Structure 1
Amino acid sequence: MHADLALRMMANLLWTGLVICLPVLAVILVVGLAISLLQVVTQVQEMSLTFVPKLLATGVVLIAMGPWMLRTLTSYSAQLWASIPTLF
Protein backbone atom coordinates (compact mmCIF):
# COMPACT_ATOMS: atom_id res chain seq x y z
CA MET A 1 0.00 0.00 0.00
CA HIS A 2 1.39 3.35 -1.01
CA ALA A 3 1.32 6.46 1.12
CA ASP A 4 -0.95 8.36 -1.25
CA LEU A 5 -3.49 5.53 -1.18
CA ALA A 6 -3.43 5.46 2.62
CA LEU A 7 -3.88 9.24 2.77
CA ARG A 8 -6.76 9.12 0.29
CA MET A 9 -8.45 6.35 2.29
CA MET A 10 -8.01 8.32 5.51
CA ALA A 11 -9.41 11.46 3.87
CA ASN A 12 -12.44 9.51 2.63
CA LEU A 13 -12.95 8.08 6.11
CA LEU A 14 -12.82 11.49 7.78
CA TRP A 15 -15.05 13.09 5.14
CA THR A 16 -17.65 10.31 5.46
CA GLY A 17 -17.60 10.64 9.24
CA LEU A 18 -18.09 14.39 9.00
CA VAL A 19 -20.97 14.06 6.55
CA ILE A 20 -22.68 11.47 8.76
CA CYS A 21 -22.31 13.54 11.97
CA LEU A 22 -23.12 16.93 10.46
CA PRO A 23 -26.96 16.84 10.71
CA VAL A 24 -26.89 15.91 14.38
CA LEU A 25 -24.21 18.46 15.23
CA ALA A 26 -25.99 21.23 13.33
CA VAL A 27 -29.29 20.63 15.13
CA ILE A 28 -27.57 20.48 18.52
CA LEU A 29 -25.81 23.76 17.72
CA VAL A 30 -29.04 25.52 16.74
CA VAL A 31 -31.00 24.18 19.72
CA GLY A 32 -28.17 25.07 22.11
CA LEU A 33 -27.99 28.59 20.73
CA ALA A 34 -31.77 29.05 21.01
CA ILE A 35 -31.81 27.77 24.60
CA SER A 36 -28.86 29.99 25.52
CA LEU A 37 -30.67 33.04 24.11
CA LEU A 38 -33.79 32.06 26.03
CA GLN A 39 -31.77 31.75 29.24
CA VAL A 40 -30.14 35.13 28.71
CA VAL A 41 -33.49 36.83 28.09
CA THR A 42 -35.34 35.19 30.98
CA GLN A 43 -32.35 34.82 33.33
CA VAL A 44 -33.36 31.25 34.15
CA GLN A 45 -30.20 29.22 34.79
CA GLU A 46 -31.55 25.69 35.06
CA MET A 47 -29.21 22.90 33.88
CA SER A 48 -32.00 20.58 32.77
CA LEU A 49 -33.32 23.35 30.52
CA THR A 50 -30.19 23.03 28.38
CA PHE A 51 -29.88 19.25 28.46
CA VAL A 52 -33.40 17.97 27.79
CA PRO A 53 -34.17 19.94 24.58
CA LYS A 54 -30.80 18.92 23.10
CA LEU A 55 -31.47 15.30 23.96
CA LEU A 56 -34.94 15.40 22.40
CA ALA A 57 -33.69 17.18 19.28
CA THR A 58 -30.89 14.63 18.90
CA GLY A 59 -33.39 11.79 19.15
CA VAL A 60 -35.64 13.37 16.52
CA VAL A 61 -32.73 13.94 14.13
CA LEU A 62 -31.44 10.40 14.60
CA ILE A 63 -34.89 8.97 13.89
CA ALA A 64 -35.36 11.21 10.84
CA MET A 65 -31.85 10.96 9.39
CA GLY A 66 -30.90 7.50 10.69
CA PRO A 67 -31.74 5.57 7.51
CA TRP A 68 -29.71 7.99 5.39
CA MET A 69 -26.78 7.80 7.82
CA LEU A 70 -26.90 4.00 7.76
CA ARG A 71 -27.07 3.91 3.94
CA THR A 72 -24.09 6.25 3.68
CA LEU A 73 -22.03 4.24 6.14
CA THR A 74 -23.02 0.96 4.49
CA SER A 75 -22.06 2.18 1.02
CA TYR A 76 -18.71 3.44 2.34
CA SER A 77 -18.04 0.08 4.02
CA ALA A 78 -19.04 -1.87 0.91
CA GLN A 79 -16.74 0.31 -1.22
CA LEU A 80 -13.91 -0.26 1.25
CA TRP A 81 -14.39 -4.03 1.25
CA ALA A 82 -14.64 -4.09 -2.56
CA SER A 83 -11.34 -2.25 -2.87
CA ILE A 84 -9.37 -4.73 -0.76
CA PRO A 85 -8.26 -6.94 -3.69
CA THR A 86 -6.88 -3.93 -5.53
CA LEU A 87 -4.74 -2.74 -2.63
CA PHE A 88 -1.83 -5.09 -3.22
Structure 2
Amino acid sequence: MTGVMFLTPDGAVYLLQEALRVLLVLAGPLLVGGLVIGLVVSLVQAATQMQDMTLSFVPKLAGAAVLLALFGPWLLQVAVDYVKRMLLSLGAGIP
Protein backbone atom coordinates (compact mmCIF):
# COMPACT_ATOMS: atom_id res chain seq x y z
CA MET A 1 0.00 0.00 0.00
CA THR A 2 1.85 3.04 -1.16
CA GLY A 3 0.82 6.46 0.12
CA VAL A 4 -0.78 5.14 3.30
CA MET A 5 1.04 5.92 6.53
CA PHE A 6 0.20 4.11 9.74
CA LEU A 7 0.46 5.91 13.05
CA THR A 8 2.94 4.36 15.44
CA PRO A 9 2.34 4.35 19.20
CA ASP A 10 5.12 6.92 19.62
CA GLY A 11 3.48 9.14 17.03
CA ALA A 12 0.11 8.85 18.76
CA VAL A 13 1.66 9.82 22.10
CA TYR A 14 3.36 12.79 20.47
CA LEU A 15 0.09 13.95 18.87
CA LEU A 16 -1.73 13.65 22.20
CA GLN A 17 1.00 15.56 24.04
CA GLU A 18 0.93 18.36 21.48
CA ALA A 19 -2.86 18.56 21.62
CA LEU A 20 -2.83 18.81 25.43
CA ARG A 21 -0.06 21.41 25.37
CA VAL A 22 -1.94 23.58 22.89
CA LEU A 23 -5.15 23.13 24.89
CA LEU A 24 -3.43 24.39 28.04
CA VAL A 25 -1.94 27.35 26.19
CA LEU A 26 -5.30 28.29 24.67
CA ALA A 27 -7.34 27.90 27.86
CA GLY A 28 -4.72 29.21 30.29
CA PRO A 29 -5.17 32.98 29.98
CA LEU A 30 -8.95 32.80 30.34
CA LEU A 31 -8.82 30.38 33.27
CA VAL A 32 -6.20 32.39 35.15
CA GLY A 33 -8.06 35.63 34.45
CA GLY A 34 -11.34 34.14 35.66
CA LEU A 35 -9.61 32.83 38.78
CA VAL A 36 -8.09 36.21 39.64
CA ILE A 37 -11.30 38.12 38.96
CA GLY A 38 -13.33 35.58 40.95
CA LEU A 39 -10.96 35.87 43.89
CA VAL A 40 -11.12 39.68 43.89
CA VAL A 41 -14.92 39.68 43.60
CA SER A 42 -15.19 37.11 46.40
CA LEU A 43 -13.01 39.25 48.66
CA VAL A 44 -15.15 42.31 47.92
CA GLN A 45 -18.34 40.34 48.54
CA ALA A 46 -16.98 39.00 51.82
CA ALA A 47 -15.92 42.47 52.94
CA THR A 48 -19.27 44.05 52.08
CA GLN A 49 -21.38 40.99 53.01
CA MET A 50 -23.15 41.31 49.68
CA GLN A 51 -23.84 37.78 48.42
CA ASP A 52 -25.40 38.08 44.98
CA MET A 53 -24.60 35.55 42.23
CA THR A 54 -24.77 38.13 39.45
CA LEU A 55 -22.05 40.18 41.12
CA SER A 56 -19.55 37.40 40.48
CA PHE A 57 -20.80 36.52 36.99
CA VAL A 58 -20.74 39.94 35.32
CA PRO A 59 -17.10 40.83 36.18
CA LYS A 60 -15.93 37.38 35.05
CA LEU A 61 -17.77 37.78 31.77
CA ALA A 62 -16.35 41.27 31.24
CA GLY A 63 -12.86 40.05 32.17
CA ALA A 64 -13.10 37.16 29.72
CA ALA A 65 -14.12 39.59 26.97
CA VAL A 66 -11.17 41.87 27.76
CA LEU A 67 -8.75 38.93 27.86
CA LEU A 68 -10.05 37.63 24.54
CA ALA A 69 -9.61 41.08 23.03
CA LEU A 70 -6.04 41.27 24.35
CA PHE A 71 -4.89 37.69 23.78
CA GLY A 72 -7.20 36.75 20.89
CA PRO A 73 -4.75 37.30 18.02
CA TRP A 74 -1.99 35.41 19.82
CA LEU A 75 -4.33 32.53 20.75
CA LEU A 76 -5.53 32.32 17.16
CA GLN A 77 -1.94 32.21 15.91
CA VAL A 78 -1.10 29.38 18.33
CA ALA A 79 -4.12 27.40 17.11
CA VAL A 80 -3.30 28.02 13.44
CA ASP A 81 0.34 26.99 13.95
CA TYR A 82 -0.79 23.78 15.66
CA VAL A 83 -3.17 22.88 12.84
CA LYS A 84 -0.47 23.62 10.24
CA ARG A 85 2.02 21.37 12.06
CA MET A 86 -0.50 18.55 12.33
CA LEU A 87 -1.54 18.77 8.67
CA LEU A 88 2.07 18.87 7.51
CA SER A 89 2.92 15.86 9.68
CA LEU A 90 0.12 13.91 8.00
CA GLY A 91 1.77 14.39 4.65
CA ALA A 92 5.25 13.58 5.92
CA GLY A 93 4.16 10.55 7.91
CA ILE A 94 6.15 11.68 10.94
CA PRO A 95 5.21 14.03 13.79
| TM-score normalised to structure 2 length | 0.89
Match of 1:40 in 2: 46
1:87 CA displacement: 2.2
Paired residues, number:
88
Counterpart mapping for 1:4-83 below 5 A: 4-83=10-89
SS in 1 for 2:63: helix
CA positional deviation for 1:83: 0.6
The runs of at least 4 aligned residues of structure 1 exceeding 4 Å deviation read: none
| Cα displacement (A) at 1:42 | 0.7
Q: Which has the larger radius of gyration?
A: 2
In the alignment, structure 1 segments of 5+ residues that lack a partner are: none
RMSD of aligned residue pairs (Cα, Å): 1.0
TM normalised by structure 1 equals: 0.96
Structure 2 unaligned runs (5+)?
A: 1-6
2 CA distance for matches of 1:52 and 1:77? 33
- Superposed CA deviations along residues 26-61 of structure 1, whole A, max 9, x for unmatched, are 110000000011111110001110000000000000
Question: Within 2, Cα distance between the matches of 1:39 and 1:4?
Answer: 50
- SS at 1:44's partner residue? coil
